[in-house]
Every structure is written in structure tokens, then in C-alpha cells.
Amino acid sequence: MVGYCIYGQFNDSYAFHEVPDLTEYQKLHQALLPDMTGDTQPEVQRCPACGEMLNKWDVPLTDLRLKRRRSDISATYDGVKTVSQRFRDVCETEGLTGLRFISLPKDKAFYAIRPIRAVRFDAVRRQTEFLNRCDVCGRYRSVVGATPVCLKAGESIHPKEFVWTDLEFASGDEKHPLLLCGVEAGQILKRAKLRGLDIEPIKDAHAAPAPVRFDWYSSRRPATTSLNIPILSDGLPEEMNIVANLEWHIERTLR
């Protein structure tokens, strides 16, 4: 085993979007397909052709305040990992390295986290799918196929280190890198019994994975049906694997 992949349940918040006006029916589906129709912060820069965010990790988190506040680690609908003071205390006490803790001006009880170092993800060996490339900005609307984690030859994670991948996964404004940590760091986090922690071992990041079709983060239950259906997101038509998207979100909700 070379380390762990760390997830966080949704905290019902947006980092870059205004909260959209949702019906009760739509609210029930937020954990499956988050609504991204709310206006984005003025600092957000988008591609004029496809609408992809161009400066996501440089936008200040001036307005972020978590709605669901019980978890020590969680994620916004638009891909930002957040942690509690307790999570930070565990990292500092145990000497875990590699994370930047970003204070939230409107929520002093939590931090956004960003790893300092990126590791190269092996998309060829993993058979990751890149869907709908924009000819203007060169970005893809969807990047599908993240687990089992495959790193390029020569990449490693120090035992007490946090890193993230150089590729971002998911679709649209949800896209974000995978958060990974070393073996010792993962064991420390599990022993600390942090609320909301969802952590899975990376058994062999350099082995060839078994052939799978769109799994959307799920190595346990790969999708078996592909539906290429045009859907509207921010007014832009796109083709994506709807079954794969739902598989990942449903699994995250039920775990």
C-alpha cells in the first residue's frame, strides 16, 4: 500500500457560487447532481466559449460559510475541501505535512485546504476519459475515471505527507484534484476518528488496473451502461456519461 485517497461528504455549501433558488424536489437531488445555476463570484474568470472556470484555485474564498458544520472534513458542491480546527490540530500535533490551511473570513471555525505538492496521475494506464474539449481554452468539460488511483512511474507520497493530483476529476465547476496522503498520515487520521472522514487505501498506485468503464471514482461498482445524452448546464449543451455521474454521487451519499 502506498497511501490513501481522502474524500469528504458535501457540506451543502458553495465556494464560488451564490446559493441557487431551488424547489424542495431539487434540494433532494443536490447530493446526486448539485445545481450550479447560481451566479458566480465576480472574481471568477470563465472561458468565453465553454464557460469553464479558468482561475478556480486563485479565487479568494471571501464569502464561504459552511451550512453543514458537524464534519471535520467535507467538500463544497464546487470542489473545495474544508476542514475543522480539530483536523488542523491533529495535523500539527502529529507532524503531518503538505497542506496549506486557508482561513475563511466569514467562517473562523473552518479552513479550506490545498496541498503544496502535486503528483502526476497516469491517465493512460487508468484509461481516464476526457470529454468535450474546448478549442478555445483547451479544457475538458468532464474528466472521468479516477480510481483505482494510478500514479506515473517515479511518483511517491511521503508517509506523513498530503498531496493532490495534477488532474482534476468530475464535470463542470465540480472538478477538483484527488486528495491523497501517505500511509502513516492516513492511519493517524483514522485513529483520530475525525467526523466525515471518508478514506480509502491506495493498494498499488503503479499497477495496471483491471479494465473498467466509466466509474466516476468507484472502483467497487463500475458503471455498466453508457448514455450519451445532451444536457444543459449553465446554458451549454454537453455530452457526458449520466450513469457514471449518478453512480459516483449515489455511492458518496450511501457510504
Residues 15 and 181: their CA atoms lie apart, in Å, by 24
Q: Does the structure show a pLDDT above 50 at 228?
A: no
Cell of 15: 465556494
Amino acid (1-letter code) at residue 198 = D
Q: Does the structure show a pLDDT above 60 at 101?
A: yes
Q: Does the structure show a pLDDT above 60 at 94?
A: yes
Residues 37 and 17: their CA atoms lie apart, in Å, by 8
* DSSP secondary structure letters along 80-143: -EEEEHHHHHHHHHHT-BSEEEEEETTEEEEEEEEES-EE-B-HHHHT-EEEEE-TTT--EEEE
Q: Does the structure show a pLDDT above 70 at 129?
A: yes
Report the alpha-carbon angle 104-85-1, nearest 5: 110
Residues 116 and 161: their CA atoms lie apart, in Å, by 10
pLDDT, position 208: 66
**Nearest Cα to Cα of residue 149 among 214, 200, 224:** 200
Q: Does the structure show a pLDDT above 50 at 98?
A: yes
Mean residue pLDDT across the chain: 83
pLDDT, position 201: 94
Asked if 102 and 87 count as a contact pair (C-beta separation under 8 A), the reply is no
Is 250 in a helix, a strand, or coil?
helix
Q: What are phi and psi of 246, to 5 degrees?
A: -65, -40
Sign of CA dihedral 208, 209, 212, 215: negative
pLDDT, position 37: 82
Domain ranges of the chain: 3-254
Residues 21 and 232: their CA atoms lie apart, in Å, by 17
Place of cell 466569514: 106
Q: Structure pTM? A: 0.81
